[in-house]
Amino acid sequence: MFAVAQFASAFFNSASSPFFALGSAIIDLTPPWLKDFAIATFGTNDKLALFISIGVVATALSVLVGLLAKRSFALACAAIIGLAVVMASAVVTRASTSLIDVLPTVLGAVAGMGVLQWLNRLASATAARPGEDAGSHGPSRRTFLLSSALSLAAAAIATGVSTSLSASRNMADAARKALRLPAARTKAKALPAGVQVAEANMPRFVTPNQNFYRIDTALSVPQIDPAQWSLRIHGMVENEFTMSFDELLNQELVETYLTLTCVSNPVGGDLVGNAKWLGYPLRKLLERAVPQDGADMVLSASHDGFSASTPIQALTDDRMALLAIGMNGEPLPFEHGFPVRMVVPGLYGYVSATKWVVDLEVTRFQDKAAYWTTRGWSERGPIKMSSRIDTPRPFAKVPAGEVVLGGTAWAQTRGISRVQVQIDDSPWEDAELAAEASVDTWRQWRFAWKDAAPGMHSATVRAYDAQGQLQTSEKANPVPNGASGWQRLQFTVQ
């Protein structure tokens, strides 16, 4: 019962754990003299001592409930429910819990009654066997004892695993809250006025962290305590080394705006976001490691087993590839890679933007393959130039007169020099470009269609990069290396 509750709580608010809640409630209710005694006796192990005591009491209570069940199964169930009520009230009286956090305790109580019934059946089957005297060690009695011991062992293991799971969560959470990011040695260039087109439906030029798209293979978000984090750089290098989080904080950090894009983004899609990143240039890190001749790739790996293959050139040329710790002025959110991730201008995330990064291996494309490469995607993924219509929305109804179209375009590392719009089959016309923050960020555009006639219309958009290269009209699916083609949408003028 306790174990299931504890295990289930690992998936909830950490304060939903009945062990932590009971523990905290006990700490809160303990008279000061007993607290002082505990700390004096057990030192920093006082919390461990508390949890062991709770475990011992829990085991004793389980045995008592088991004995009670021999008398009356209903009475034993009532005892379990009583225990659950105590645990649940410990949970709900904690700060930072809500009613849903009682669920693990309820699940625990149900599981407890299930196990009880199962053991009780076994026990009565044992007792009902004729011709066996009380002291004998017949197989069914052995089965009962074995089953009880197994239940207890399973409970202990589940409790241990889930407790350490939620303990590491608590540590990571506390560490993130306590973290004060160092100031950047090189600040981001201030955003010029006019990067934002002021129309409804336009995305914010800087994507707020909570709106930033999230793509990863992690079933549950890794919660890494920075004190436990380190990054190892090895492989084809003269100088293998490992860097701790404290060391990373002490490097000369750089701040830069950079637009991240997912290879799975369809034409017109929203798997793209722009943020101000704070981090240490990967170029500097690799300078210290000294890559050997012939190395052409860095395989970055995350804490949870994802990996990305990045051309070493993209990490050593003059673009601002970062080992990032900050996103829009705060520590990386857990979903976006806390404590450390990579961001590389001009490359799709699947070949560059490893979150929760812990390992960099300098190697060669012919020797190693990354996570998505082994699943049918290209080993290299430069971002394809793209343009998007954000307003009007597809199939929107807009009033007649002047219709303002607006959107975004990106060609990271090169920059956007021109955006054109085509209404129905009219000639292509230039849109107005918003100010450019840098070649690594997206750029907004606006187009006023002066006298829109009522009826159904289409709008198509295309961009040119800074070298005057036109965005390709050739349609391609995201697999294997990114979608292409011009976005066209329909809307109705009323």
Ligand X SMILES: Nc1nc2c(c(=O)[nH]1)N[C@H]1C(S)=C(S)[C@@H](COP(=O)(O)O)O[C@H]1N2
Q: How far is the CB of 311 from ligand X (least distance, A)?
A: 16
| Contact of residue 354 among ligand X, Mo ion, none (CB under 5-8 Å per partner type) | ligand X
Residues 192-231 that bind ligand X (CB under 6 A): 212-218
Q: In this chain, which residue has its C-beta nearest to ligand X?
A: 349
What's 28's DSSP letter? H
> Does 377 participate in binding ligand X (rule CB under 6 A)?
no
SS3 content of the chain, % helix, strand, coil (to 5): 40, 25, 35
| Contact of residue 416 among ligand X, Mo ion, none (CB under 5-8 Å per partner type) | none
Q: Is the dihedral of CA 376, 378, 383, 385 positive or negative?
A: negative
B/e letters for 382-410, b = 16+ CB within 10 Å, e = fewer, are bbbbbbbbbbbeeeeebeeeebbbbbbbb
Near ligand X by CB under 6 A: residue from 353, 389, 403, 489: 353
> Does 276 participate in binding ligand X (rule CB under 6 A)?
no
Which of 416, 403, 473 is closest to 444 using CA atoms?
A: 416
Which of 25, 18, 53 is closest to 38 using CA atoms?
A: 53
> Does 442 participate in binding ligand X (rule CB under 6 A)?
no
Q: How many residues bind ligand X (CB under 6 A)?
A: 19
- The span from the first CA to the last CA of the chain, in angstroms, equals 63
Find out whether the peptide bond into 392 is cis, omega within 30 degrees of 0: yes
> Does 277 participate in binding ligand X (rule CB under 6 A)?
no
| Contact of residue 336 among ligand X, Mo ion, none (CB under 5-8 Å per partner type) | ligand X
94-to-19, 28, 55, 292 alpha-carbon distances in Å: 12, 10, 20, 56
Q: How far is the CB of 217 from Mo ion (least distance, A)?
A: 10
Q: How far is the CB of 481 from ligand X (least distance, A)?
A: 12
Q: What angle do CA 140, 143, 149 make, to 5 degrees?
A: 150
Binding residues for Mo ion, rule: CB under 5 A, are: 215, 262-263, 349-350
- Between residues 25 and 260, which has the closer beta carbon with respect to ligand X? 260
- Between residues 408 and 420, which has the closer beta carbon with respect to ligand X? 408
> Does 334 participate in binding ligand X (rule CB under 6 A)?
no
Listed ranges 349-357, 385-393, 417-425, 446-454: which one lies at the site for ligand X (CB under 6 A): 349-357
- Between residues 217 and 220, which has the closer beta carbon with respect to Mo ion? 217
Binding mask 28-67 for ligand X (x = CB under 6 A): ----------------------------------------
What's 136's DSSP letter? -
> Does 72 participate in binding ligand X (rule CB under 6 A)?
no
Q: How far is the CB of 342 from Mo ion (least distance, A)?
A: 13
Q: How far is the CB of 478 from Mo ion (least distance, A)?
A: 9
Structure token digits, residue 71: 């008398």
Find out whether the peptide bond into 339 is cis, omega within 30 degrees of 0: yes
Q: How far is the CB of 273 from Mo ion (least distance, A)?
A: 11
- Phi/psi class of residue 422: alpha, beta or left (left: φ > 0; alpha: ψ in -120 to 50)? beta
> Does 296 participate in binding ligand X (rule CB under 6 A)?
no
> Does 260 participate in binding ligand X (rule CB under 6 A)?
yes
| Contact of residue 302 among ligand X, Mo ion, none (CB under 5-8 Å per partner type) | ligand X
| Contact of residue 281 among ligand X, Mo ion, none (CB under 5-8 Å per partner type) | none
- Between residues 268 and 349, which has the closer beta carbon with respect to Mo ion? 349
- The whole-angstrom separation of Cα 381 and Cα 263 is 8
- Between residues 40 and 219, which has the closer beta carbon with respect to Mo ion? 219
- Between residues 155 and 385, which has the closer beta carbon with respect to ligand X? 385
| Contact of residue 353 among ligand X, Mo ion, none (CB under 5-8 Å per partner type) | ligand X
- Between residues 306 and 464, which has the closer beta carbon with respect to ligand X? 306
Q: What is the DSSP string of 203-249?
A: PPSSPPGGGS----S-SS-----GGG-EEEEEESBSS-EEEEHHHHH
| Contact of residue 73 among ligand X, Mo ion, none (CB under 5-8 Å per partner type) | none
What's 351's DSSP letter? G
Q: In this chain, which residue has its C-beta nearest to Mo ion?
A: 262
| Contact of residue 356 among Mo ion, ligand X, none (CB under 5-8 Å per partner type) | ligand X
- Between residues 62 and 352, which has the closer beta carbon with respect to Mo ion? 352
Element (H, E) at 406: strand 401-410
Q: What is the DSSP string of 153-184?
A: HHHHHHHHHHHHHHHHHHHHHHHHHH--PPPP
Task: Kindly report the backbone phi and psi dihedral angles of residue 170, in degrees, each rounded to the nearest multiple of 5, phi listed first.
Answer: -60, -45
Please report, as ranges, the residues that interact with ligand X according to CB under 6 A: 212-218, 260, 262, 302, 304, 306, 336, 349-350, 353-356
